[in-house]
Chains A and B, each alone.
Chain A
Amino acid sequence: MKMNNKEVVCLDNVSKSFAEKPALKNVSFGIFAGEILGYVGPNGAGKTTTIRLLVGLLRPTEGKITVFGEDPYLSGALRARIGVVLDAPGLWENLTVHQNMKYFSAFYKKDAEKAIQECLKMVNLDGKTNEKVNTLSKGMRQRLATARALVHDPDLLIFDEPSANLDPDGQREIRELVLTLSRSGRTIFLSSHNLPEVQQLCKRVAIINNGKLLGVLDSSELQNRNLEKTYFEMVRGE
C-alpha cells in the first residue's frame, strides 16, 4: 500500500492473531488528515482489535502501523496526540467526575483545569463535577469517557461505539460533537454499529468482517448508495 503524505494513519498489511487464532488478516487502509473515517462490521469482525492496535495497546503479528509517522506501540509521546473512547468506558468508579478528569489529564499536562471544565461542558456534564462515577447512568459514563478523551486536545480521535449506551438525545449530542471536532480540523476514526449515523457523519467508510477488510467506500459511493444495503451485500456476499 502506498503511503500518502496526507495520511495520518496507515495500516499496511496488518494481521493480528491471538494464540494462533487470527483476528485481523492483511488489513490495509489509511486515514487522511481531517477526515471522519467510519469503520463498520458485525460483532467479532475485528473492529476493537484494530482500535487497540491503533492506540498501541496491541502490537501487530504481521504488517506495519504508523500514526503520524510513528509506531503507536513504541512511542509514548505519540499517544499524547491520540484521544480514544474504548468500548468499555474504563472509568475510576470510586472517584468523582472531576477527579476522573483531573487524574487522567495529569498524565499529559500539569494544570488542565480550564480544559476539564470546557470538555465537561461539551458533553453536558458540567453540573455533575462532584458526583461519583458509580452514581452515574450508563449514558453519563459514556459522555464522561468522551470528555476524558478530549481533555488533552488530541489531533486524532478514535471512537469505539461512542453512542452505544446513549438515548436519542445523547446520540444526537455525540453526533454534533463529532462534527464540531471534525470542523476544528481533527481526524476522526469512528467504529460503530449505527449505520445511519456512520453514513451521516463519515466521508469514507471501511467495512470489515471476519478480520478481513471487505472494502472502503468513498464519499461518492456513500452519496449514491445506501450504506445499510451495501453493508449487508458485502458482509453476506463475502
Chain B
Amino acid sequence: MRVTGVRVVARKEIAEFFAQKKNLVGMLFAPLLMIFIFLFVFPSLIDSLSKTVPASVLIPKVLDMYGFNYTLFLILMMQTALASDMFIAEKMRKSIEVTLTSPVSVNDILIGKVVATFAMAYPISVGSFFVVAVFFWSSYGLYLPSLPTLVYAVSVLPMLAILLFALLGLLQLSTRYYKAANAIFSFVMVLAIAIPSLFIKEMPTAQDLLLFYAVACAILSTVMSRLGQTLLDRERVVTTSG
C-alpha cells in the first residue's frame, strides 16, 4: 500500500463528491429523515408507551437502538449510494483503467475510496445520533449516551463501516454485475441488521450489542483479508469493466 496513492484517491473522491450538489442532497436525506422521525414521531409514541413502561427505562433503550443499529444503517445507506459513482461509474467510464496505468495499485484505490466515504458518512451518521440524544436529554432530562454506546461509536462502528464498504467495493471492483452486487449487499445487510431482532424477545443490553458487533467485525475482517487476496487483481478489474 502506498500512502500517497491512498491519499490522492481519497482527496479526488471527496472533490468529485462536492462537485455535484445532488450527492450532498442524497447523502443528507437519510440522516435528516431519521432525525425527523426521532424528534417529531417518537416523542408521541414515547408519551403513549410511557404509561406502561417508565420513560426512564424506555428512552435509554430507544437511543441505544439508534446508537447501535441506525448509525450503522445510515452509514451503509450513504456509502452504498456513493459506491455507484465511486466504483460503477469509474469502471463504466474506464477512468479506473487509466488510474491503474499509474503506479497506484487496486488496493490503494479501494482503500482510498473507503477512506473518502467513511470520512464523509461517519461524522454525519454519528452526528445525527448526537442530535437525537441531545434532544431527548433536553426534553426528558433522562439520557446521555451510555458507555458501551460511546465505545461502539468510536471503535467498533468505524471498523464495521469500513469493512462493510470495503466488501461492497471489492464486489464491485471484481464483477461486471454491479447492480446485482449492490442489491445483494443491501439485502444481506438489511437482513443481518433486522433478522436478529426478530428472534430476540427482549431488547439486548448495550453491552450485548457491543459484543455482537465486535464479533461481527472480527469475522468480517477475516473474510475480507481472504477475499482481498483473491479478488484484488488488476486484470480482474479491467476485464470486468464497461
Contacts and interface: CB of A to CB of B under 8 A. Distances in A.
A103 B101 contact: no
| Top 6 A-B pairs, shortest CB-CB distance | A90-B98, A107-B102, A90-B95, A76-B103, A103-B12, A90-B94
Interface in A56-105: 56-59, 73, 76-77, 79-80, 82, 84, 86, 88-95, 99, 103-104
B47 interface: no
B103 A88 contact: no
Instruction: State the main secondary structure of chain B at its contact with A.
Output: helix
Nearest to B20: A94
24 contacts: A56-B100, A59-B235, A73-B234, A76-B2, A76-B103, A79-B103, A80-B102, A82-B101, A84-B98, A84-B101, A86-B94, A86-B97, A89-B98, A90-B93, A90-B99, A93-B93, A94-B16, A95-B12, A103-B11, A103-B12, A104-B99, A107-B8, A132-B19, A145-B98
A91 B94 CA distance: 8
Contacts of B94: 86, 88, 90
Nearest to A145: B98
B101 A55 contact: yes
A13 to B, nearest CB: 19
A108 B5 CA distance: 9
Which of B5, B12, B104, B238 has the most chain A CB atoms closer than 10 A to its own CB?
A: B12
A95 B16 contact: yes
Contacts of A57: 97, 100-101, 234-235, 238
B99 A99 contact: no
Contacts of A106: 4, 8, 11
A55 B102 CA distance: 9
B15 A99 contact: yes
A107 B95 CA distance: 14
Contacts of A99: 12, 15
B102 A88 contact: no
Given A58-B239, A103-B15, A148-B98, 16 more contacts: A57-B97, A57-B101, A73-B234, A76-B103, A76-B105, A77-B103, A84-B98, A86-B101, A90-B93, A90-B96, A90-B97, A104-B102, A106-B8, A107-B5, A107-B8, A108-B103
Contacts of A132: 19
Chain B: interface size category: 20 to 34
Contacts of B101: 55-57, 79, 82, 84, 86
Interface string A96-133: 00010001101110000000000000000000000010
Chief secondary structure at chain A's binding surface = loop
Nearest to A18: B239
A52 interface: yes
A145 B94 CA distance: 12
B104 A95 contact: no
B6 to A, nearest CB: 11
B16 to A, nearest CB: 5
